[in-house]
Amino acid sequence: MFDDYLASTSNMELVSGGEKLILLDREPPMTIIAAMWESEDSILIGADSGETETTTNLRLINNNKLQRYSNPSIPLAWGAAGNPAIGIDGFAEWLRNHEPFTTWQGLKANCEDKMAELVGRRNALRIKMNIPYNFISRDDASVLLVGCLENSLRMLEINQEAIGYFIAQRFHTIGMNPAVIATNYRTIEQTRTPTLEDFARVLDISARSFPQCDPPIHIWRVTREGIIEL
């Protein structure tokens, strides 16, 4: 069952057969999720602490946008952007408690299937309840994963079409204005090899620039040995 996520008091919550469909009357809270190769042996993943509106119109700081396996020995971390009923309540909850994957291709295939299932369930429920698609401002999500499987560090994105692809470039971001954030990163990269401090600075400047995104920035270092919260 989808957890009921309400972005404002004017949202509609519809229930059919015990399953809830939350219809957002505006864009859901925006998120910055980014990853960068720090060295050959480590990848950084970071997220903002953007404000989220609750059903009582309170503004909260979300300090848990980065997720990881329940088993701390598995070095795999991720962050989701878009509709949180899909990316957080659905996908992240499933992945966090899934038995460990042993190969990158197995992880990619299963993540694609799960994202397609989650989006398909929402679309099927919407059609069953005769809700037009354009009523829902955002009914998709994307996820950026960073980790080590088969002794290989990699970045993987599962996009809103439930298609996964491995990231070849040094820096990658999803969520709020990825082109602008990538430009901020490239400005530094043109003069030097970006460091942890540069990565944090890019995310901090971006978070301060966009509505519903906010410092502090949370950064984890993912290595073959594990995950370090910085």
Containing 165, the helix (H) or strand (E) segment is: strand 164-166
CA angle 119, 9, 85 (to 5 degrees): 20
CA angle 67, 71, 74 (to 5 degrees): 80
Q: Is residue 1 in some structural domain?
A: no
State the pLDDT at residue 1.
29
Q: How do residues 198-212 score in pLDDT, each as one tens digit?
A: 999 999 999 888 877
Q: Is residue 152 in some structural domain?
A: yes
Instruction: Evaluate the CA torsion angle 36, 38, 39, 43 in order and state its sign.
Output: negative
Mean pLDDT confidence for 12-33: 53
**Per-position b or e across 201-217, b if 16+ CB within 10 A of its CB:** bbbbebbeebebbbbeb
Give the separation between CA 69 and CA 46, rounded to whole angstroms.
16
Give the separation between CA 5 and CA 81, rounded to whole angstroms.
14
* CA 50 and chain centroid, separation: 13
Q: Which of 26-30, 56-60, 76-80 has the highest mean pLDDT?
A: 76-80
Task: Assess whether pLDDT exceeds 50 at residue 83.
Answer: yes
Q: Is residue 54 in some structural domain?
A: yes
Q: Is residue 142 in some structural domain?
A: yes
User: Which residue carries 């992945």 as its tokens?
Assistant: 95
142 falls in which pLDDT band (50, 70, 90)?
Answer: very high
Q: Is residue 207 in some structural domain?
A: yes
The answer to which of 71-75, 102-106, 193-197, 208-212 has the lowest mean pLDDT is: 208-212
Assigned token pair, 85: 């009923």
Mean pLDDT confidence for 64-70: 87
For 193, other C-beta atoms within 10 Å of its C-beta total: 11
Q: Is residue 143 in some structural domain?
A: yes
Higher-pLDDT residue of 54, 175: 175
150 falls in which pLDDT band (50, 70, 90)?
Answer: very high
The answer to which of 1-5, 106-110, 177-181, 185-189 has the lowest mean pLDDT is: 1-5
Mean pLDDT confidence for 118-147: 71
Q: Is residue 36 in some structural domain?
A: yes
State the pLDDT at residue 132.
60
The answer to which of 93-97, 146-150, 218-222 has the lowest mean pLDDT is: 93-97
Higher-pLDDT residue of 26, 112: 112
The phi-psi region of residue 90 (left if phi > 0; otherwise alpha if psi is between -120 and 50; otherwise beta) is alpha
- Any idea what the CATH number is for the domain that residue 136 is in? 3.60.20.10
State the pLDDT at residue 2.
31
Number of domains in the chain: 1
Q: Is residue 136 in some structural domain?
A: yes
State the pLDDT at residue 85.
77
- Domain range for residue 52? 12-229
CA angle 209, 141, 45 (to 5 degrees): 60
